[in-house]
Each structure stands twice: as C-alpha cells, then as structure tokens.
C-alpha cells in the first residue's frame, strides 16, 4: 500500500478514544492517514459528506446525532465510506441495525487493539479490491466479518449467555458448530503477513469439502474451526505434516500446527481453543512434522530434587567469564529437567527463568558494587521456539551480566583516575596517602579505604607497582645510572631502592641492568 492512500475519520465523543486511536494505530503501516476527528454526530456527518473518507470509525452513542443516523444519511447521499462501529453497549439489536444501515464491523469498548488491527487490515484490503473491481458482494463480506468477530468472542470465552451464542451462531451461518468439531492452530515465529496469507491458502485447500472457518488471530496465528467427528478428521490430520513441510518450502519459515480436543456445541469453543494452544506450546520440542495434539500434553508432576543446582560452580564460571563452562552448564541443567520425553514447555521455560534469576541474585550478592540490572523479561522466553533457543537465552543473560560487571570494573571511578594520575605525576617525590587524599578532597582514612574498595589493592602496593614499572622501563633504556633511576622512582637512597626492586623482581637493579 502506498503511504496515505486510504483516508480515515475517527468519531467519538470521548477525547481519550479519539486521541488513543489516532496515536495507537500505526496508520502509515496500513497505507492510511487520519484526515480528522469528530466529537459529535453532526460534525461526523459533515466531515463524511465533505471528505468522503474510505473508512470511518464511529461511536454509536454521540451527542446531536448518533452513529447509526450518520451511517444512514451517508448512505442516502451515495457516500461509499466503510464504517466500523464502536459501542459501549453489548446490545446485539444495535449491531443488527448497524449492519442493516451498512456498517462493516462492530466492536465493543474497551477496544481490543490487536483485534481492531486485524479488522482494519481486512477492511483496507477489501477497499483495495473494490477499487480494482466493483463486483464484491457487500452482504457476504459483512457476514464474513461478523462471523470472525463472533468466533473470536467464542474462543476467548467472552459470551456468557447460551441463548445469545445460539442466536449469533445462527445469524452468521455457523449452525454446524452444534455438531462435533475441533480447533486447528497454525503459527510460525516472526512470520510476515505474506507468509500467513500463503498458509491460509494452503490450509483452506486442505480443508476443502469439510465445514470449517479459518482466520488470522492476533496477527501471529491462523485459527481454524474444523467440523466432523474424529474418523472424518483423521485424513486431514494425517496431511498436516505435509502442510507444514510445504509451508517451510514456500516461505523458508518453520510453521507448526496443533489440534485441540474434539468438542460439540459453540459454547465449548474456548475449551477446544485452549487445548489447541496448550498442544501448540509443545512445538518447543521440534517433533518430526511439527504437528502437535492433546495426546502429547504431559500431566505428570516433576520429581522432587529436580531443581538442585551447583550454584558455586555456576557463579565461579561467571566470575571467570568462562563461556565454555557456562555453555555446558546450561545444557546439562536443561537436560536434567527432562523427567519425561516432553515435559510441559511452561515448566521448562519457568525453570530456565529460575536458573537465570537466582544466578543474578547470587552474582550480584558476590559483587555488591555492580549497578542494578534491568529486570528479566518473560516475553523474551516466549520468543524461544526450541530447547536450543532456551539454552542460548540463558547463556546470553548470564554473559550479559558478566560483561556488565567487566565494563563497570574496568571503567575507573573519576576519583581513582585522578588519584592514579597524581601518583604518576609525583612518583619521584616521597608522597604519602595523605597527599593524594588532599588532592582528591578526601580524608586520608576514607581515601585509603575507598582506593582499596575500588581497585582491589591498597595505596602502598599500587604506589610500589608504579615505581617498579618506571624503574624497569628506565633500566631497560640504559641511559641513566641506577642512582638516577632510584631518585626518579622516588627513593632517597640507592639501598632502599635496590632492596625494594629485588623484593619485587627477584634480581638487583644492576643484574636487571646488565642481564
């Protein structure tokens, strides 16, 4: 879609809704732009008649003129704007009336943004098709849109009244849900919309000849409701591995599919959907064919002692930044969680979070001078779609903490940096800790403690190391006498220098000078 090729009007008497929709939806991603907002019905009608937007999102209840009247008058004036209705009232009669007047979709407040985005995408695609061909059947598209809205409510268990469920099912031509069916879910990590379109085409072809509905849900999975008893569905299920293989071949992505429990009656759709989602989570184990069902779900409790960890070994490996040790530790840890061939994926993910969380606590306890770290995000774990991916995630988290520690350790404190500079600048002088402390505006007692805490060595040892470093450098050059080098290193007499040098290097200055 070209940016701004579709025009949108938002009409609602609540400013928070108008502003929220204007800002929360990435309109440019859909090739659309909001041409204006209206706070009442009269203003909305005027803008619709004047600008004739491609799409209008409009509240039913507004001052001066309600949304239904706006839609009716727009139709009388030959305006082809598509309307998406918003309502704070779960009144199906209002929805029916909106449909008769020409509304395309009906959303209850509070609005579920992901569902709204799905509907927005469908509407703009249909507008695009209408621009190239005026032969679309508006009524059938409306039924389709209403059917998907109803099915989303069913699988999310948002409808409580059996009477309401039955009436809605009949209205959108889904009476076959009173017979046996199951939910089929197909997904792929990070798949673009084009890949899902490819998947939808193939799944539709696979289900040809059987009662089914298939739609994109939440932007990251195809949900299908497939009719028929288990024996009738057997051939379809047997063909699913071929489907996932074909999708991988066409898109280059790993698609996986799951089948939920067989149920009967539209009121049980949420049970079937939950069952399919639970089975889909087992894609973590990458079984051949990438098809999962309720029979794979593990219901056995893990044995006691499974979570025992050799914490000292792990923290020592982190201290030493031993990547090989961390790599093998994480893999041994995950391997130890497999008390059955395929444990519950949520258990595996939870135990990976447990290891990293506790390792962070113990490492930070050992190194209390590290700045606080950002909290772990469970969302990152949900993006790991294999056991190897979980192990890699743990390693990344542990190594990130090690790297942070290394950076903070190596990044010198400005007080320590200035103290070291002063020592080097005055190394030929007989400076004391109090001289350096005065230069950095600290008391002598506090400075010596602070220096030790930040550098890991006391002031006298550091000063000696700097003197010996300078002495070795000057001795190697061979241009100065030992007495001159002793003075340059801050020693008042040759003997004191020679004794200190031999204690540090194991040889006398003359031996070092003349190897």
| Cα(148)–Cα(126) distance, integer angstroms | 15
Q: Which domains does the chain have, with CATH numbers?
A: 6-136 (3.40.50.2300), 175-296 (3.30.70.270), 311-410 (no CATH), 414-513 (1.10.10.60)
pLDDT for res 452: 86
DSSP character string of 431-449: --HHHHHHHTT--HHHHHH
At a CB cut-off of 8 Å and minimum separation 6, what does 232 contact?
210
pLDDT for res 133: 56
Q: How far is CA 358 from the centre of its chain?
A: 22
Cα torsion 51, 52, 56, 61: sign: positive
| Cα(17)–Cα(23) distance, integer angstroms | 10
pLDDT for res 328: 93
pLDDT for res 371: 62
| Cα(37)–Cα(40) distance, integer angstroms | 9
| Cα(83)–Cα(320) distance, integer angstroms | 63
Helix (H, G, I), strand (E, B) or coil at 217: strand
pLDDT for res 376: 79
pLDDT for res 214: 92
Contact 62, 40 (CB under 8 A): yes
| Cα(396)–Cα(327) distance, integer angstroms | 10
CA nearest neighbour of 349 among 386, 317, 324: 386
pLDDT for res 199: 92
pLDDT for res 412: 64
Q: pLDDT means per 10 residues in the chain (515 residues)?
A: 73 92 90 93 91 92 91 88 85 72 83 88 84 57 81 91 90 91 94 88 90 88 93 92 94 95 95 96 96 94 80 90 91 93 94 92 79 73 91 92 77 81 91 92 90 84 91 87 89 87 87 61
pLDDT for res 92: 64
């Amino acid at each position: 879609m070209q940016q701004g090729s579709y025009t949108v009007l938002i009409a609602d008497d609540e400013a928070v809704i108008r502003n929220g929709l204007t800002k929360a939806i990435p309109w440019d991603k859909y090739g659309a732009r909001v041409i204006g907002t209206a706070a009442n019905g009269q203003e909305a009608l005027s803008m619709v008649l004047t600008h004739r937007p491609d799409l209008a999102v409009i509240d039913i209840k507004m001052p001066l003129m309600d949304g239904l009247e706006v839609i009716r008058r727009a139709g009388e004036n030959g305006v082809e704007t598509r309307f998406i209705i918003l309502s704070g009232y779960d009144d199906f009669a209002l929805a029916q009336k909106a449909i008769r007047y020409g509304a395309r979709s009906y959303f209850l407040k509070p609005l579920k943004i992901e569902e709204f985005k799905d509907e927005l995408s469908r509407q703009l695609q249909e507008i695009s098709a209408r621009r190239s061909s005026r032969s679309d059947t508006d009524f059938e598209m409306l039924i389709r849109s209403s059917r998907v809205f109803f099915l989303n409510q069913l699988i999310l268990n948002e409808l409580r009244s059996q009477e309401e469920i039955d009436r809605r099912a009949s209205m959108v031509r889904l009476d076959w849900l009173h017979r046996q069916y199951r939910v089929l879910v197909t997904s792929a990590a990070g798949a673009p919309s084009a890949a899902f379109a490819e998947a939808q085409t193939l799944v539709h072809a696979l289900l040809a000849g059987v009662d089914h509905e298939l739609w994109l849900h939440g932007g990251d999975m195809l949900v299908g409701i497939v009719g028929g008893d288990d024996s009738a569905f057997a051939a379809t299920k047997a063909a699913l591995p071929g489907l996932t293989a074909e999708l991988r071949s066409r898109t280059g992505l790993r698609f996986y599919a799951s089948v939920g429990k067989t149920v009967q009656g539209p009121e049980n759709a949420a049970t079937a959907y939950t069952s399919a989602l639970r089975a889909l989570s087992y894609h973590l184990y990458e079984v051949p064919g990438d098809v999962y069902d309720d029979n794979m779900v593990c219901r056995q409790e893990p044995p006691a002692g499974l979570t025992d960890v050799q914490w000292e070994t792990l923290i020592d490996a982190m201290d030493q930044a031993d990547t090989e040790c961390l790599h093998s530790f994480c893999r041994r840890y995950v391997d130890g969680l497999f008390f059955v061939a395929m444990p519950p994926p949520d258990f595996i993910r939870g135990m990976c979070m447990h290891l990293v969380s506790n390792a962070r606590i113990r490492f930070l306890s050992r190194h209390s001078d590290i700045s606080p770290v950002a909290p772990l995000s469970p969302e990152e774990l949900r993006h790991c779609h294999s056991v190897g991916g979980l192990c890699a995630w743990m390693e990344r988290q542990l190594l990130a903490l090690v790297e942070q520690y290394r950076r903070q350790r190596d990044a010198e404190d400005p007080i320590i940096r200035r103290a070291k500079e002063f020592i080097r600048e005055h190394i030929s002088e007989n400076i004391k800790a109090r001289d350096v402390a005065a230069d950095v505006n600290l008391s002598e007692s506090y400075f010596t403690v602070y220096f030790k805490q930040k550098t890991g060595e006391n002031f006298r040892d550091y000063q000696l190391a700097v003197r010996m470093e300078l002495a070795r450098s000057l001795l190697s050059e061979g241009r100065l006498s030992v007495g001159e080098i002793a003075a340059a290193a801050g020693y008042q007499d040759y003997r004191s220098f020679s004794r200190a040098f031999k204690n540090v290097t194991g040889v006398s200055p003359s031996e070092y000078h003349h190897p």
